[in-house]
Amino acid sequence: MTAPLSPSASLPTIRLMPKANARAIRHGFPWVYANELVTDRRTRGLAPGSLARLEDDARQPMGIVAVNPNSKIIARMLDQNADAVIDQSWIEAHIARALKLRNQLYDAPFYRLIHAEADGLPGVIIDRFGDTCVVQANAAWADVLIEPLCAALMAVTGVTNVLKNAAGRTRTLEGLDDVSLVLAGSSPEAAIAVPMNGATYMADLIGGQKTGLFFDQRPNHAFAANLSRGARALDVFSHVGGFSLAALANGAQSALAVDGSEPALVLAREGAEAGGMADRFTTRQGDAFDTLAALRAEGAEFDVVICDPPAFAPSRQSAEAGLRAYERIARLAAPLVAENGILGLCSCSHAVDLTQFRTASVRGIGRAGRRAMLLHTGFAGPDHPQLPQLAESGYLKSMFFRL
């Protein structure tokens, strides 16, 4: 067991400005923005990832926060108890609570174990793949405390391998490095087979996107697969075959996976082989927009078309351009859907809300000359819980239309 990392009496104190919304923070909003904090020389001099006691403008204690003067989110709430000690035991308690929930939800150890603020560990993402966990420490405090975090993870879950994935825009915004490494054990020598929705997915935990697999779409894969029995399916932005392999595992006649990454498509084909579905599965590498246009020119038609792009609007500044891209995807995909077929459209952009995404998608469908009924709206699975006070934690939206 490590020694306490934050004896609260020895921590520096930082204070909210009068204009800050202290009530929202007391009611669970987990962030303090730079323009809400008194940033004197002492506060600006705190090292990124430092722990501090937060007070409101009347000097009333609010809790223990992690500070990063280099970030627009200058403080992240760790514990509303101002006397809390942030040590390995504290981290273990949070991981144990998260593990209990996942054990209730899933019968196999393949899931998102820690979903950042919603699981009480701000900025921390941990995906579990059997006896291996991949950690994304997207906040400076977690990078500073990566060793006790790793030790706590192993102590609670019993995993033997812990990998740190340092890729991604969020770490850049926090002023963190992009060096990925093995924290404990060893890295897998090959892709890991992950069972989900009746299919087998191959996850590259070292060289793949994000942590190697997108667990968040699990319930949406299942919904689309249920509509795919006997269908010809098209999976655009397929990554390692998320929607297409689930469709095949649940009786689709055929599936075509389209992605810009050939390594991802190799893994998709390996997954199809592992599931005994390779004879019904084909892939096509290329730009999604160009491929959709080419398929239409070829006269292709599918009963189920799913488009699951990366975040077109990763920030508020890119929201307008992102909405145009979502509209364009809908406009290009809709003509490929057979009469009374299904079109699934997804967005993982937290800067675009559901209403905006739906409006852009319906506009694109209409401009393609199709009429639609909205069958279902899906979100991330329960291993990606939402913090009600933080809209960003509910980033994933999936809509399924009948055309």
pLDDT digits (tens, 9 = 90+) for 318-376: 999 999 999 999 999 999 999 999 999 999 999 999 999 999 999 999 999 999 999 99
Angstrom distance (rounded) from CA 224 to CA 239: 16
What percent of the chain has a predicted confidence (pLDDT) above 70? 98
The distance from CA 33 to its chain's CA centroid, rounded to whole angstroms, is 22
Given a contact cutoff of 8 angstroms between Cβ atoms, the answer to whether 396 and 357 are in contact is no
pLDDT at residue 289 above 50?
yes
pLDDT of residue 81: 96
Given a contact cutoff of 8 angstroms between Cβ atoms, the answer to whether 71 and 54 are in contact is no
The encoded tokens of residue 203 equal: 């996850």
Q: Residue 224's pLDDT band (boundaries 50, 70, 90)?
A: very high
pLDDT of residue 6: 54
Per the rule left: phi > 0, alpha: psi between -120 and 50, beta: everything else, 201 is: beta
Q: For residue 181, with 0-12 CB atoms within 10 Å meaning exposed, 13-18 middle and 19 or more buried, which class applies?
A: exposed
pLDDT of residue 2: 42
Given a contact cutoff of 8 angstroms between Cβ atoms, the answer to whether 218 and 235 are in contact is no
Bridge-based pairing state of the strands 254-259 and 281-285: parallel
For the ranges 5-9, 102-106, 119-123, 263-267, the lowest mean pLDDT is seen at 5-9
pLDDT of residue 385: 97
The overall average pLDDT reported for the chain is: 95
Given a contact cutoff of 8 angstroms between Cβ atoms, the answer to whether 214 and 392 are in contact is no
What are φ and ψ of residue 373, in 5° steps?
Answer: -120, 140
Domains, the chain, ordered by start:
8-79 (2.30.130.10), 88-184 (3.30.750.80), 192-402 (3.40.50.150)
pLDDT of residue 378: 98
Query: Which pTM does this prediction carry?
Result: 0.94
DSSP annotation of 166: -
